[in-house]
Amino acid sequence: MTKKAPLLGILGGLGPMSTVYFCELLISHTKAESDADHIDMLISSRATTPDRTAFILGKSDRDPLPVMKEEALRLFKAGVDRIVIPCNTAHYFYDGLCQDLPVPLINIIEETVLHLKRRGITTFGLLATEGTVKSQAYKKICQRNGISCITPSEEQQARVSAIIYEQIKQNRPADTEALLAISRDLLERGCEAIVLGCTELSLLKPTLSDKLPFVDSLEILAYQTILACGKTPIGFPDEFEEETEP
């Protein structure tokens, strides 16, 4: 009897372009000789999910968790074996989602921190939404793993937020020079790497990767998702390959 291929559920739309890019990463980095060698997946792109950062910061009373739960359970009922969320800020609601979810939910923040730990990185700078920063979602996991997370100044964070919300999310050109300047400042403050902790910022990785030591959380999620689905990852940086060595 042929073993049933695992079915991946992607709880997306947070934002929509990040979801599309995540799917592109999965497809382009999975070893395959034919269509049938790729990951079976169902994609929910609920773009009308209430904004995560606005709710976390108390700027909106529209809780995104019920909508996320509805979509996660819809994916489960459709037969998925595990779920991923290509959005860092949404992981503020991770525990609430897991309570009613009968299938595993891969945690992008935890996987990113564990990736840094395996590489021997003890201090990193975080570029993320204000919701992710203020909720200390990264710092909580870092504390359990003996890693320090440094965030931008208040003024710098406002600039990062503007790049995410006023440029990338609006399909406008992103001020990569400002992002690089903030990243250099974090490196001067003792960071060994800069984590792109917002999947909108992951969209800029191809134009930033050769300039500074960036670590892309979405790329890490893609790698771990491919492994979790029983496939072979290809085309990732050397440090990823080292993670699967005995």
Of 192, 193, 196, 191, which Cα lies nearest the Cα of 176? Answer: 196
Order across the sheet with 193-196: list the strands: 148-150, 123-127, 193-196, 214-216
Phi (first) and psi of residue 84, to 5 degrees: -125, 150
Half-sphere exposure of 82 toward its Cβ, with a 13 Å CA cutoff?
A: 16
SS3 content of the chain, % helix, strand, coil (to 5): 50, 15, 35
Around Cβ 89, how many Cβ atoms within 10 Å?
28
How many Å apart are CA 91 and CA 97, to the nearest integer? 9
Positions marked catalytic: 87, 198
How many Å apart are CA 105 and CA 90, to the nearest integer? 12
Beta bridge partners of 124: 149, 193
